[in-house]
């Protein structure tokens, strides 16, 4: 997976997370030197362009809830020098995050259909008298995570 680098941070992009390592003190992780963002905890990735009177272009990683702000940036903001850098990083980070979401959805679909298949098999065993009602219900609970 790619690694992005700018004058403020290095962003390592893995299959299930971003690892952001700060280089300069002008950063907003509440003093942290390194921060890991698990894709399973991310609600959204937002880009913000540098505008007149705003000297920062940045990507904000939304983990849900109330974002703590330091100055005008949220605590999970990753600063960039210009809008082109933000666009490039946003595209790469979004592709990695969306690939994770697609894989997660695919896996959930596989689990759902395989759980249904298994449940049908146990129902047939119940109907044939091979297993008891209690055994069937126990398997049903386990397969459906109840």
Tell me what pLDDT residue 33 has. Answer: 77
Residue 25 in this model has a pLDDT that exceeds 90: no
Q: What is the pLDDT of residues 84-108, one digit of tens each?
A: 888 999 999 999 999 999 998 887 7
Name the more confident of 48 and 28. 48
Query: In the chain, which segments carry CATH 2.30.29?
Result: 3-101
| Torsion, CA 96, CA 98, CA 40, CA 103, rounded to 10 | -100
Q: Say if domain 3-101 classifies as CATH 2.30.29.
A: yes
Tell me what pLDDT residue 17 has. Answer: 94
Phi-psi region of 145 (alpha: psi -120 to 50; beta: other; left: phi over 0): left
Give the chain's largest Cα–Cα span. 76
How far is the C-alpha of 106 from the C-alpha of 20, rounded, in Å? 28
Residue 38 in this model has a pLDDT that exceeds 90: yes
Q: What is the pLDDT of residues 96-142, one digit of tens each?
A: 999 999 998 887 776 666 888 888 999 999 898 889 999 999 988 88
How far is the C-alpha of 120 from the C-alpha of 136, rounded, in Å? 10
Q: What is the pLDDT of residues 46-64, one digit of tens each?
A: 998 887 766 678 888 998 8
Tell me what pLDDT residue 27 has. Answer: 46
3-state secondary structure of 140: helix
Name the more confident of 38 and 7. 38
């Amino acid at each position: 997976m790619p690694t992005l680098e700018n004058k403020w941070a290095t962003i390592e992009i893995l299959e299930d997370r971003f690892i952001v390592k700060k280089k300069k003190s002008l950063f907003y992780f509440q003093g942290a030197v390194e921060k890991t963002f698990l894709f399973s905890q991310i609600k959204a990735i937002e880009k913000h362009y540098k505008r007149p009177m705003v000297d920062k272009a940045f990507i904000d990683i939304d983990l849900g809830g109330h974002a703590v702000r330091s100055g005008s940036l949220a605590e999970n903001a990753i600063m960039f020098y210009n809008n082109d850098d933000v666009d490039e990083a946003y595209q790469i980070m979004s592709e990695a995050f969306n690939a994770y979401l697609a894989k997660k959805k695919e896996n959930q679909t596989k689990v759902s259909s395989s759980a249904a298949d298994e449940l049908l098999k146990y129902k047939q065993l119940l109907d044939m008298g091979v297993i008891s009602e209690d055994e069937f219900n126990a398997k049903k609970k386990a397969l459906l995570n109840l």
